[in-house]
């Protein structure tokens, strides 16, 4: 006799009890039979059960979705009291995928999986993505973030994008409507995997976090000093400087990531924002412009850093003239 107190056994029993009308409902929501069976979606007699596995492959808890025929007031999705947020889809990260989509909601994740797209989601909603999870995505070459088309989704996507600097934010089209999601895109609009690939191709990195300007941004010196600083920041590429100290930089023309030289960084937590000439480490919090970077990495004073960058700027200018 099977031990129903074992969560994995319970998941299988719930799956075996899944009524045909619930399976048809899930199909109507864009969740295919193969996905239903692979992920052991089930029925506990009142609600649809979704077993949530932890990073070690054990059933941590069940989320329970409302019966579509239940028109009484109540939440659409229940999480057991006292359970911590979990990442639904840890098994995908263990498989070292070439790319992955971070989405908002368990059903959206399963819709993507049915279209052949590796996906994960936080069980706590758009605003709940643990900082410690971000390190797990460092080895995934392409990370996309696609949340609901509403204010909470936009804020959540930006936050995750800033935690995973090489991640790109996917914007759902206006046709999904305010609050529209991935299920709306595929089911209500009837869009295809190829259509979603076009969205991935146009995805953009998250904007850099707003940070206070460095003290030297408007120096309390004469106009000549200010002109010198602005000339250095304009002519010396922070990307070129960072490449001398961070061998693993990679990314787009706008955002590159690599291991931070300012702390013992085991995952790429340093982001270089080429378009604004700044950097931010999501591990140790170091941030600033090209002058701050050189001051930190070479342990220089502000005037010494200016001299170093001025020499680099002038040398670059002579090299460029010699190449003509």
Domains and CATH numbers, the chain: 1-83 (3.90.980.10), 84-207 (3.40.1360.10), 215-322 (3.90.580.10)
Is there a contact between 179 and 148 (Cβ–Cβ < 8 Å)? yes
CA distances from 230 to 163, 196, 310, 317 (A): 30, 42, 11, 16
What residue has token string 């295809």?
192
CA distances from 321 to 129, 156, 169, 234 (A): 50, 47, 40, 18
> What is the side-by-side strand order in the sheet with 59-66?
42-43, 47-53, 59-66, 77-78
Q: Which two tokens stand for residue 58?
A: 């054990």
**Local confidence pLDDT in tens for the 324 residues of the chain:** 456 689 999 999 999 999 999 999 999 999 999 999 999 999 999 999 999 999 999 999 999 999 999 999 989 999 998 888 999 999 999 888 999 999 999 999 999 999 999 999 999 888 889 988 988 898 898 999 999 999 999 999 999 998 888 899 999 999 999 999 999 999 999 999 999 999 999 999 888 776 555 555 444 545 667 888 989 999 999 999 999 999 788 887 788 888 899 998 877 888 898 888 999 887 788 889 999 999 999 999 998 899 899 888 776 544 344 444
């Amino acid at each position: 006799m099977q031990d129903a107190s074992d969560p994995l056994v319970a998941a299988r029993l719930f799956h075996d009890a899944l009524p045909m009308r619930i399976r048809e409902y899930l199909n109507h929501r864009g969740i295919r039979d193969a996905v239903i069976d692979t992920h052991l979606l089930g029925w506990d007699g009142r609600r649809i059960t979704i077993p949530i596995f932890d990073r070690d492959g054990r059933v941590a808890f069940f989320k329970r979705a409302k019966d579509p025929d239940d028109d009484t007031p109540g939440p659409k999705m229940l999480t057991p009291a006292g359970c911590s947020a979990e990442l639904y889809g840890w098994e995908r990260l263990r498989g070292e995928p070439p790319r992955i989509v971070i989405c908002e909601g368990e059903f959206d994740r399963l819709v993507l999986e049915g279209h052949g797209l590796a996906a994960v989601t936080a069980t706590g909603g758009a605003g709940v993505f643990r900082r410690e999870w971000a390190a797990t995505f460092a080895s995934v070459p392409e990370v996309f973030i696609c949340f609901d088309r509403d204010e909470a989704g936009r804020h959540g996507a930006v936050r995750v994008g800033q935690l995973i600097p090489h991640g790109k934010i996917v914007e759902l089209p206006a046709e999904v409507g305010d609050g529209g999601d991935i299920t709306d895109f595929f089911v209500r609009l009837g869009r295809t995997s190829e259509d979603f690939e076009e969205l991935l191709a146009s995805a953009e990195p998250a904007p850099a976090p707003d940070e206070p300007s460095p003290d030297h941004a408007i120096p309390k010196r004469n106009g000549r000093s200010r002109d010198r600083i602005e000339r250095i920041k304009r002519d010396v590429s922070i990307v070129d400087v960072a490449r001398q100290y961070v061998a693993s930089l990679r990314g787009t023309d706008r955002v590159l990531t690599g291991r931070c030289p300012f702390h013992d960084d085991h995952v790429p937590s340093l982001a270089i924002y080429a378009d604004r000439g700044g950097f931010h480490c999501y591990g140790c919090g170091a941030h600033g412009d090209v002058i701050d970077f050189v001051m930190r990495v070479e342990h220089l004073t502000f005037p010494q850093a200016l001299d170093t960058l001025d020499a680099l700027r002038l040398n670059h200018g002579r090299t460029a003239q010699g190449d003509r």
